[in-house]
Amino acid sequence: MNHWELNALDLKPRLPEILSSSEAARAIVLDLDAGECLSEHEVHERAWLVVIDGAIAVTTAAGERASGGAGLLIEFAPGERHEILASSASRLLLLLTPWPGAGHPGAMTMRAKLYARRHAAKRAK
């Protein structure tokens, strides 16, 4: 058994800490200062975001909105684009499953990574 006191962790804002990682899932905790934003992004896995402390507002690329404080749970589908704004200093728990998800660079073969890098370099020109 592993356990963590999430409110007692000594974190630095915007420096996530990986609590646990396996093929089944990854658990990450992070702090955001009031007014900080995680600009629109996506993850390859199904994601659950739990507000441990503080308050956030979330907007999806589809225009859905949710906001709340401690106890708020939000689920994102794999690839669902979203943005997170901290309304106040906030501590968040992020659960990703499975880890790494399909298409995640960590799940790619070396050959696929090389192809992706070459493709990205061509697009950058």
Q: Kindly list the domain boundaries of the chain, sorted by start residue.
A: 16-124
**At residue 15, does pLDDT exceed 70?**
yes
- Where does residue 24 rank: exposed (0-12), middle (13-18), buried (19+ CB within 10 A)? exposed
Phi (first) and psi of residue 112, to 5 degrees:
-65, -40
Higher local confidence (pLDDT), 44 or 110: 44
Q: 67 near 88, Cβ under 8 Å? A: no
Tens-digit pLDDT profile for residues 18-43:
999 888 899 999 999 999 998 888 88
**Has domain 16-124 been given CATH number 3.40.50.720?**
no
Determine what percent of the chain is predicted with pLDDT higher than 70.
Answer: 81
Contact 50, 92 (CB under 8 A): yes
pLDDT in tens, 48-71: 999 999 999 999 999 999 999 999
